[in-house]
């Protein structure tokens, strides 16, 4: 079965008033990818996390195809969150969001769970290299994870993104 045609994706920086929508994207995506961790946080906790923790410390961008379908939260050198709704994956939203962070940094790191093979393939295809694996004892999910790193190649130009 082929994927339905998707609407054009627009990527823009999100406003503080959109943090509840961003939290919803995170929760729906996270719970679909990691059902055994579902319920780790309540929707209220997710909204608090976006409004009070991420929004003041990160740039938060969204991928919009009529509605918000993906989010990225990043600060200099680190991607904190990158999620795309499950039924919208594979349509370019994650790549467009990642391109924003890469255009504004010469190097980035991010964590993902070791068993998230799809995310690992995605990051590796974008030039990220695994630099460290853990047993998960230091993250709240207690899930083995992997640290990825990306560095801009000398002479490579970034994508000009305004926001």
- Domain extent listing, the chain: 10-151
CA dihedral 104, 54, 145, 105 (to 10 degrees): 10
Contact call for residues 30 and 49 (beta carbons, < 8 A): no
pLDDT at 117 over 70: yes
Residue 5's CB: how many other CB atoms inside 10 A?
6
Contact call for residues 132 and 114 (beta carbons, < 8 A): no
Tens of pLDDT, residue by residue over 46-64, are 999 999 999 999 999 999 9
| Distance, CA of 102 to CA of 126 (rounded, Å) | 10
Calculate the average pLDDT of the chain. 90
How are beta strands 78-84 and 145-151 bridged, if at all? unpaired
pLDDT at 129 over 50: yes
| Distance, CA of 120 to CA of 113 (rounded, Å) | 8
Assigned CATH for 10-151: 3.40.630.30
Residue 79, beta-bridge partner list: 74
The pLDDT assigned to 4 comes to 46
The pLDDT assigned to 1 comes to 36
């Amino acid at each position: 079965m082929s994927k339905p045609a998707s609407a054009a994706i627009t990527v823009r920086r999100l406003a503080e008033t959109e943090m509840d929508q961003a939290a919803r994207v995170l929760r729906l995506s996270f719970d679909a990818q990691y059902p055994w961790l579902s319920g780790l946080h309540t929707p209220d906790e997710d909204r608090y996390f976006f409004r009070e923790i991420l929004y003041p410390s990160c740039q938060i961008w969204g991928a919009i195809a009529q509605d918000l379908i993906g989010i990225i939260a990043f600060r200099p050198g680190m991607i904190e969150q990158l999620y795309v709704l499950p039924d919208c994956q594979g349509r370019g939203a994650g790549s467009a969001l990642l391109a924003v962070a890469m255009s504004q940094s010469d190097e980035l790191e991010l964590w993902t769970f070791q068993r998230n093979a799809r995310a690992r393939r995605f990051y590796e295809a974008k030039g990220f290299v695994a630099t460290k694996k853990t047993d998960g004892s230091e993250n709240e999910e207690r899930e083995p994870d992997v640290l990825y790193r990306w560095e801009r190649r000398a002479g490579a130009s970034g994508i000009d993104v305004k926001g």
